[in-house]
Amino acid sequence: MCVGVPAKVIKIEEQTALVDVMGSRMYVGIIFVPDVKEDDFVLLHAGQALTIVDEEFAKESIEEWRNVLDGKHGGLF
């Protein structure tokens, strides 16, 4: 099973992008999403942006991740 985490693209630098993941910023690879632009939302897995997603989906997913991390859904596994 793969788990993707939504992130907002802040800045693009060649084949990497600075993204915001629930308040934390990190650089990720963007080789799989050549059309990505600043302010897009992407799904991340293993340090790579795998696909571009719409803002509504990203925000809903972030809310679910927050609920899991806060223990509102029991454990993740």
Report pTM.
Answer: 0.80
What is the domain partition of the chain in residue ranges?
5-69
pLDDT at 74: 59
pLDDT at 73: 62
1 has pLDDT over 60: no
Q: What's the CATH code, domain 5-69?
A: 2.30.30.140
**pLDDT digit string, tens, across residues 16-32:** 999 999 889 999 999 99
Instruction: Give the position of tokens 């308040």.
Output: 23
Mean pLDDT, residues 29-37: 97
